Amino acid sequence: MLAQSNTLYIQGTPTGDPIPIAARIAYTIENNSGMPLSLAVKRRGISAGPCSEVESGSGLELFDDALAIQLQRNKSYRDRVMRFVPDKARVSGTIVMENTSCKPSDVSGMTTVPVTITVMVANENNFLAVPLQTDARLTVRGN
């Protein structure tokens, strides 16, 4: 799946290819807070329609629940591992969904799907998890 400019693409398995192509979500987040922030993504806070199992990601670091708690409690750790994003700056990345748990047939008949990415936001001593949501148009490619 690719969610970019509110468009989501589900990529299916090409004819004759025995390995499913993993769905992807491509995202861009702009910091309009008026202050610099550190950002990361909560792995269990990601979904695109019925798909919620995440394999990997780029752009912002993905953190499981245990490490998210460590980020919240340990400022020196989050200063090292979260991505610094100045005010008015953008960060882009891709989230790869688990290829066996997210198939084109899961979204058959849908024209849009809700996409949620939970972003962990830090500034100095403050830490907050913020779910960002949008509805994305859906295009299925492949089988």
CB–CB of 62/120 below 8 Å?
Answer: no
**Stretch 64-85: mean pLDDT:** 89
**Enclosing domain of residue 6:** 2-141
CA atoms of 121 and 39, how far apart (whole Å): 5
Q: What would the 3-class secondary structure string for 91-131 be?
A: EEEEEEECCCCCCHHHHCCCCEEEEEEEEEEEECCEEEEEE
Confidence of residue 138 (pLDDT cuts 50, 70, 90): confident
- Rounded to two decimals, the pTM is 0.79
Supply the CATH number for residue 49's domain.
2.60.40
- Pick 83 or 100 by higher pLDDT: 83
Number of domains the chain is built from: 1
How far does the chain reach from its first CA to its final CA, in angstroms? 14
